Structure 1
Amino acid sequence: MEAVPARARVYVACVAVAALLCLLPPPAVHTTWWEVALLAAVAAGCERAAARWRFAGTFYPVLLAGAFLLPPPAAALVALPGALLSPVEQRPRGLRRVWRAAQLTLGAWAAARVHGATGGRDAVAASDFPYALVPAGLAVLVFCLVLSLLDGGILALAVGAPPTPFGQWGTIPVRRACGLFLRSLAPVAVHGLAGLMMAVLWRSPYGPVAALLVLLPMCVSCWVFAQYHRERAAHQATIRALVQAVDIKDEYTRGHSERVGQASMMIARELGMEDARIEVLRFAGILHDVGKLGVPTRLLRKDGPLTPQERRIIELHPEYGHEMVRGISFLGEARAAVLHHHERLDGSGYPYGLTGGQIPESARVVAVADAFDAMTSTRSYRRARPVGAALEELERCAGSQFDPRMVTALVRALSRHGWHPAVTADEPGVPRPRPTVTGRPGVHR
């Protein structure tokens, strides 16, 4: 965001001035400056490593260890070099560096102030457990709260707020800050525990060298986490490219893949499946029609009825899709769903005419999700059915065409959460009315 509103710049300037005031030590404060320099250097190194690994977030254990070991002005100084020297990708880079440095400086100062006021530094020096956990926990809460409040304010000012009375506008940063606080409390608490371990070892006979060893498992875990997210992003990019190719080829089903993925995920959650398997079934729903890339475009866009020969060609798309994705190992059982999502329990489906339990469970989930979205979406040859009518049709065909468990799971999920599909259209760019509900109380659009 290159164009930062003037009010946001003023806000950053005020926070920066407050941070500078926190760095001014009162006359009675005596600090061992080599500790400050060492902690600041380690914090800066961790920031650089996190940026190199593309780890989302800031590495807080060293900052919190400084808050547990040092007086507030010195603890605030620990955060400054790493924040000012860390690489920033988005513009304006200078303003973002100043903002991050001021934010972390205030957070570290507040955490150190609370920790010292509750007797935390004495407990750390004496390795007094479990009492040392109480001041450390309070300091972590304050640190997280300060960062969340400051972030909530800058988000409200930078993004903008609707023209409402001041009292109502004032609740916007608070709501955003509460959301940020709740999301960040757990990871910051883990970093705080590591920081407390560092502080205790730092004051123990083992000294700073042993304290810095605490960072080793944290760094390894952060690296593994970053690698996982990088791999996940690559998976998402692969799936997105395939789905976009299908949507371009078959304009009448644009958005259909994402909606089938959403419905498949709802069914899987209702059945109590594990998170990893739910994600795989979402992939299965998204990719179930990828084989249409091998079907002639004229057949996919034909307005009139298909001839038997044309229908046989279209019915090859599950096999085409399976050939396309069978080498993608992370898809797991989603590959079987791509191949078998048009099979029917009574054996009248295709491509192999499987019956009952011969059909993989993933394919039975996607079959229900696919049929549901097909009925509730507008196509070139018909208007969308209401959600209630589509569910009644699924229940009518349960046992012969669809697995009754999957149909029941979808009905329960829609009754609980409603259905919020993406907009589809008869023509690209022309929105259609959302599906309405008849005869199904509790199922929303």
Structure 2
Amino acid sequence: MGVKVIPRAARVYIGCALLGAGACALPALRPGAATPWSTVALLAALYALCELPARCRVLGRPFGGSVPMGTGSFFPVLLAAALLLPPAAAALTALPGSLLARVDEPPAAPRRAWRAAATALAVWAAAQTAGALSCATALGHGPDAPDFPYALLPAGAAALTFCLALTALDGGIRATADGLPPRTAWRGLLGRALAPHAVHGLAGLMMAVLWRSSYGPVSALFVLLPMYISCWVFAQYHRERAAHQATIRALVQAVDIKDRYTRGHSERVGHASVLIARELGMAEERLDVVRFAGILHDVGKLGVPTRVLRKDGPLTPEERRVIELHPEYGHEMVRGIGFLGEARSAILHHHERMDGSGYPYGLRGEEIPEFARVVAVADSFDAMTSTRSYSRARPVPTAVAELERCAGSQFDPRMVAALVRALDRHGWRPAVTADEATPSVLPAPPVSPGGDVPTPREGKTPPQREAGAPPARAADASPARAVDGPVEDPDVRSRERA
């Protein structure tokens, strides 16, 4: 749920989940139910104890403030309960820990109630599946050894049922609380949950086997130690990732403050770069890096004098040469940031052209790094489709037609085709940037599919580059062109047409 005010439909949905959870747990509370209260109490207390550090700062301090975050880190305890207990009793074990779990966004009470109800229902369903497959017999008891590999079948089925139940319930709350269409609400939930829940199921089976062994419940606690360590490591990873995001946000904000004409441009180029990369079938781990490349492609403008970036009149040849240094400035700024990876080469080479007339090194064709070719298309597309204080946005079809016209000479045709497919699939929402000027009074400048600076200059000596970078080539000696576009115009740029 991503809203602070819970809609009526979501409140009804939560109420129904609570009623369902109550109906599932009620049989365990009836007189003569023969509920194994000692096991229920131990597992419920264990699950609640595991969730407490994420909510309590005092308990979280020994872990540097990074402890397993929220409900989900210790589902193996609940899956062990599903394998050990009758369904109604297993549902009860989920309630204390779910109610104590940390909630990051208000309102906390309904969110906790929802999480408790959904978790109890999922555990109940998992226990029903385990019981139907005679899990109690397969686990053995005391000196009786568990029946392997048959015990894997009820454990795996219980984990799958748990995953399916939670996925179905979470998709429902997304649809009712966030107003998402059903297909969108459930999209991707099951795929992301299957692998973690499979691991949780194996850990839950280990706990259940040890619990039923001659060593007793205490031995099952040893399963939690490696789990807690792995969760702590995962939390450290998220802290580092958050630090990376903060670093990038700071750099982008600095560029936006300095060059008001392209405010918001960086984020949109990052988004368009990811759309292209997905269409090309890039691996998931590369998508974040290509997004970083798009977001930071103009970070080198921090090294360009503000008076040059904001100049209203025509640029002198010297000022053009200064602006054309921004890819190299950007590369020098980020070359020590290890997590950027391939993004560094994209920052350096996103103004290269397929025909070799780009800068800073005049690379040609496949010599240009793949990420740089992606960002070049995304950068030019957003420059053409964004309304700024000095130019009116071109319609998306016009921008696409211009990209296709320049494919092969300026842009990689594969990247252009990938962007066209992504736009057909996802659409595009151009935005007003800079000072939110009224575009209706501005004349429409000639179409020019470029970024924000002019193109090749004469006599450029390549700076020292990273190991493995392509060899330098002499820059094209042709006249400078208007705003990176193929139309030559040595005297003006788009922002001077207002």
Q: TM-score, normalised by structure 2?
A: 0.71
Q: Quick one: which amino acid aligns to residue 18 of structure 2? A: A
Matched length: 416
Contact 1:254/1:424 (<8 A) preserved: no
User: 1:165 corresponds to which residue?
Assistant: none
Contact 2:261/2:434 (<8 A) preserved: yes
Contact 1:2/1:91 (<8 A) preserved: yes
Match of 1:384 among 394, 407, 414: 394
Contact 1:84/1:98 (<8 A) preserved: yes
Match of 1:232 among 229, 241, 245: 241
Q: Quick one: which amino acid aligns to residue 432 of structure 2? A: A
Identical pairs, percent:
63
User: 1:73 corresponds to which residue?
Assistant: 88
2:69 matched to 1:55? yes
User: 2:119 corresponds to which residue?
Assistant: 104
Contact 1:202/1:210 (<8 A) preserved: yes
Q: Distance in 1 between matches of 2:154 and 2:128?
A: 10
Contact 1:372/1:394 (<8 A) preserved: no
Closer/same/farther in 2, CA of residues 432 and 191 from structure 1, 3 Å limit: farther
After TM superposition, the structure 1 = structure 2 runs for residues 75-154 of structure 1, keeping only pairs within 5 Å, are: 75-125=90-140, 127-154=146-173
Q: Quick one: which amino acid aligns to residue 19 of structure 1? A: A
After TM superposition, the structure 1 = structure 2 runs for residues 147-166 of structure 1, keeping only pairs within 5 Å, are: 147-159=166-178
After TM superposition, the structure 1 = structure 2 runs for residues 6-405 of structure 1, keeping only pairs within 5 Å, are: 8-9=10-11, 11-21=13-23, 22-25=25-28, 26=30, 29-50=33-54, 52=60, 53=67, 55=69, 57-58=71-72, 59-125=74-140, 127-159=146-178, 176=185, 180-266=189-275, 268=277, 273-344=282-353, 349-351=358-360, 360=369, 362-377=371-386, 380=390, 384=394, 386-398=398-410
Equivalent residue of 2:288, what SS?
helix
Q: What's the CA shift string for 1:162-205, capped at 9, x where partnerless?
A: xxxxxxxxxx6687357644543332232122212221222233
Q: TM-score, normalised by structure 1?
A: 0.79
Structure with more of its chain in helix, by fraction = 1
Closer/same/farther in 2, CA of residues 24 and 430 from structure 1, 3 Å limit: farther
CA RMSD, 1 decimal: 3.5
Unaligned runs of 5+ in 1: 162-171, 434-445
Contact 1:29/1:71 (<8 A) preserved: no
User: 2:444 corresponds to which residue?
Assistant: none
Contact 1:65/1:199 (<8 A) preserved: yes
After TM superposition, the structure 1 = structure 2 runs for residues 400-411 of structure 1, keeping only pairs within 5 Å, are: 407-411=412-416
Unaligned runs of 5+ in 2: 61-66, 441-498
Equivalent residue of 2:407, what SS?
helix
Contact 2:90/2:123 (<8 A) preserved: yes
Q: What's the CA shift string for 1:220-256, capped at 9, x where partnerless?
A: 3222222222222221222123223323433332333
Closer/same/farther in 2, CA of residues 424 and 61 from structure 1, 3 Å limit: same
User: How many Å apart are 1:8 and its aligned residue?
Assistant: 4.2
Closer/same/farther in 2, CA of residues 265 and 147 from structure 1, 3 Å limit: closer
User: How many Å apart are 1:61 and its aligned residue?
Assistant: 0.5
Q: Distance in 2 between matches of 1:34 and 1:287?
A: 57
Closer/same/farther in 2, CA of residues 408 and 354 from structure 1, 3 Å limit: closer
Q: Distance in 2 between matches of 1:18 and 1:238?
A: 46
